[in-house]
Amino acid sequence: MKTIEIRIAGRVQGVGFRACVKRIATNLGVGGAVMNLPDGRVLITATGEPVILDKFVSMLYGCPRVVIRDLSEREIPNAAYPEFTIQRSAYQYST
C-alpha cells in the first residue's frame, strides 16, 4: 500500500470534479479524500496499491468539463482510509 498527495490546477472547481474523483476512487477501491483549496486548486489524498494509484491518476484526466493544467504528485506517509470522501474546503468554514 502507498499513499500519495495530488495537487491539481486548472478548471477544477465548480465543474463536478470532486464528485468525479470520488466516483473513480470508489470504483477502484482507493481510500482517501478530495477537497477544494482556497487558491483554486484541488487537493487529493489517496491510498491504495501502487498500480491502482497510477490508474487512478490517469483516469482523473477523463472527468467531464475539467481542464487539468498542472498535476503534481508526491508520496506521503502511509495513511489508512475506510473510504473515499469529499471534504469541505477550509475557506468554506470562515464567516
> Looking at the annotation, which residues are catalytic?
18, 36
Please give the Cα distance from 65 to 72 (Å, whole number).
20
Segment holding 61, helix H or strand E: none
Number of H helices, E strands in the chain: 2, 5
